[in-house]
Amino acid sequence: MQDVLLIPFADYWWAYGIFVAAVLGIIAFDLGAFGKAGATVTLRQAAIRSVVFVLLALAFALGLYQFLLHELPHRPELVGLAHQTLARDATLEFLAGYVVEYALAIDNVFVFVAVFSYFAVPPQYQQKVLFYGILGALLFRALFIAIGSVLMQYHFVVVIFGVFLIATGLKILFLPEKPMDPANNPVIKLVRRMVPVTADFRGDALWTRIDGRLWVTPLFVALVFIEFSDVIFAVDSVPAIFALTNEPFIVFTSNVFAILGLRSLFFVLQSMVQAFRFLKYGLGVILLFVGAKMVWLNEAFDGKFPIAWSLAIIGAIIAVSILASIVANRFKTA
């Protein structure tokens, strides 16, 4: 791994600020245009929004490449290095990280479907839960990335996370999946002990007052469970992308773009969960690969496994798992 960061926070804090402001603007526009209270998102609307978010990520990748081409020649510590190669590799790192995070986000969709089914959340209220859930996810990812950027400077921590990702990948591939049981989740039990929960929904309200006492609704409990599940997912996804790049800015931006499209992706995929039954095995293989990068492959390739190879391998794994799912479904219905 290169020791010099291309986009250190101390020098480019303003780039983080501009990016966060742009993201908040995108969220505000998305909420204003498509987040009307009680509105049900159509498949067509969700598909269009999903494509738009992917195009935004690709546009950002192009902008990142041009930005680095402009900035790197002015960095004294990078004199004598191939600036175009550094810019290209950083852009490929963003794309690889985005693909990994987006694939893991699809796994999140499966959890959302199960949570909404368990709590019987009406379709017109799901968008509100997802909106606040994604805001919370952005905050948690920023915190995890900030901690990770410090911890990943120590080689033994990198190895520990790599071993953890390999173990997680093996678990996905070989151990039977346990059915999700929100009723026995310790966080949900804690919420129910701390504050009373209404028996039914109160419109799209997260809480209400009954006889002067604060009550939360099942919608609030569903939101808490979704936030808790994202923290669990972040434990896998943040170390996974640090296996691809040591640039906190790239880790942060690729995470954010993947999460931004998650709400629209849910409405596209919620009726097709079973159609991608082999995707989770693809994700298991990806975690094995990125874990191996952290434990061994990066060191075997003089500190960094070629990012172009990583992007090609990850893309191929996802494509094969999706294709296998489609073929299996056709044979099943034949």
In a domain, 272, yes or no: yes
User: Which of 55-64, 88-97, 250-259, 270-279 comes out lowest in average pLDDT?
Assistant: 270-279
Look at the chain and report how many structural domains it folds into: 1
Given a cut of 60, whether residue 24 has pLDDT beyond it is: yes
Mean pLDDT, the chain, integer: 85
93 Cβ neighbours under 8 A, 6+ residues apart: 244, 245, 247, 250, 307
d(CA 95, CA 88): 11
Longest dimension (CA), the chain: 72
In a domain, 246, yes or no: yes
pLDDT tens for residues 77-120? 887 778 999 999 999 999 999 998 888 877 777 778 878 888 88
In a domain, 1, yes or no: no
At CB < 8 A and 24+ separation, what contacts does 16-24 make? 16/249, 16/252, 19/252, 19/253, 19/256, 23/138, 23/256, 23/260
d(CA 1, CA 138): 27
d(CA 125, CA 105): 21
pLDDT of the residue at 1: 41
262-291: b (≥16 Cβ within 10 Å) or e: bbbbbbbbbeeeeebebbbbbbbbbbbbbb
Given a cut of 50, whether residue 239 has pLDDT beyond it is: yes
Q: CA distances (Å), 324 to each of 146, 265, 282, 317, 328, in order?
A: 37, 21, 10, 11, 6
Provide the 8-state DSSP code for 295. Answer: I
Q: Report percent pLDDT > 70 for the chain.
A: 92
Of the two residues 25 and 331, the one the predictor is more confident about is 25
55 — pLDDT class (breaks 50, 70, 90): very high
Beta-carbon neighbour count of residue 3 at 10 Å?
A: 8
Range of the domain at 281: 9-333
34 — pLDDT class (breaks 50, 70, 90): low
Please report, as a single letter, which amino acid is at residue 182. P
pTM (predicted TM-score): 0.85
In a domain, 147, yes or no: yes
Beta-carbon neighbour count of residue 236 at 10 Å?
A: 20
Contact (CB, 8 A) for 135 and 262: no
In a domain, 262, yes or no: yes
In a domain, 2, yes or no: no
pLDDT of the residue at 37: 53
pLDDT tens for residues 125-171? 888 888 888 888 888 888 888 898 888 888 888 899 899 999 988 98
Burial class (CB in 10 A: 0-12, 13-18, 19+), 261: buried
Please compute the mean of the pLDDT values over residues 229-238 and round it to a whole number. 80
Contact (CB, 8 A) for 122 and 201: yes
pLDDT of the residue at 53: 93
pLDDT of the residue at 257: 94
210: three-class secondary structure by DSSP: strand
